[in-house]
Amino acid sequence: MTLHIFNPEHDIALAYDNKYFTPPHAGRQMRHDLDYLPVLWAKDGDYILVENVNSARIHARRFMSYGQQVHFINSDNIEQIIDEVTEVMPWGWDSAIKFQLEQLGIKANVLPTDERLSAIRELSNREYASQVLRELRELLDEDILIGESFCARNVAELTSLLEKIDKAVIKAPWSSSGRGVRYIDTMIDPAILNWANNVIKQQGSIMVEPYYNKVKDFGMEFIADKDGVHYVGLSVFHTMNGAYIGNSLEKEEVKQELLSTYITIPVLNNIAQTLETLLSKQLTGIYYGALGVDMMIVANGSRGDVVFKLHPLVEINLRRTMGHVALSLSNKKSFQHKMMRIDNDGSHYHLHILNKDR
């Protein structure tokens, strides 16, 4: 039996790398409000760890298939099923979630070792994504592809890189959406330089990328198992100021058709297959579970002479993503041709399924 946990604070926990990490209020609130989400991918007989069992049942009811036998359990009662747990599947693996599970009595043989956790964290570093981006572009050699990323290990290297790039984006190696990112127009101001210096001191480096004129966000979702990494579907999502807003719920062919305005379907398929190979090379034996690769369509060139290009690897998320949530929802006919949104009403987070005209 698999025990599922929704821990959306995972990205921030990775950055802190401390088993005693306490997430900010927003992370705790999202985990509390949406802890039932694994009902979308859990199998019959699985358990989902939630704070309030009755509340989780009520919220999950609209997403459950008739007769689906998924169970909810809280930390007070988890000892009743500990001997039945053969696998643990959190949203993402980090030292904090492992420690929380140990405190609940989950056995060591179903948890990753500290060495494997450390390897997962290193592969979650944006420097690894930069390496895969280089390899991907070298292997594909497609004119439509764009994108590069550089690592600076001190302020001198950072300023040297910025002198060569007109508009730039600098990113902390580990951070959650939007939080560890700063935009630089032509000159870096003292406040951003101070922030960058602190990031380098805390995380050992900082990533530097050219700024691209984004037209559309999308991603590719994968599953890693003992045999390698396997493509499972496209994710067409929407962001605001770098933060996730929602996903389109469509069949694969509809999403392909939507993106074919900018890029051909054979190129998309080629990228998916090449990423399977590149990611399998590093992840097999270390990371198991869901992961996603964020991409974007960009407008390149001057006004009147704009061409669309594809940035094939903006981020690698070694965790389950909202794109995976959307894929699970898209399998249900009643949710297709709609929009999945995560909203906050000022006090609580809600998952909404909306008609696309809203």
Could you give the CA distance from residue 231 to residue 269 in angstroms, rounded to a whole number? 10
pLDDT score recorded for residue 179: 78
pLDDT score recorded for residue 357: 61
pLDDT score recorded for residue 202: 93
pLDDT score recorded for residue 245: 81
The closest alpha carbon to 212, from 150, 292, 296, belongs to 296
224-233 burial code (b ≥16 CB/10 A, e <16): beeebbebbb
The ranges of the chain with pLDDT < 50 are: 358
pLDDT score recorded for residue 228: 97
* E strands in 81-132: 87-90
Q: Which two tokens stand for residue 16?
A: 């802190």
pLDDT score recorded for residue 333: 86
Q: Which domains does the chain have, with CATH numbers?
A: 2-122 (no CATH), 125-144+212-355 (3.30.470), 150-210 (3.30.1490.20)
Could you give the CA distance from residue 195 to residue 204 in angstroms, rounded to a whole number? 13
Residues 6+ apart with CB under 8 A from 356: 248, 337, 338, 339
Neighbour-count burial of 275, counting CB atoms closer than 10 A to its CB (0-12 exposed, 13-18 middle, 19+ buried):
buried
pLDDT score recorded for residue 176: 73
pLDDT score recorded for residue 238: 80
Could you give the CA distance from residue 337 to residue 258 in angstroms, rounded to a whole number? 12
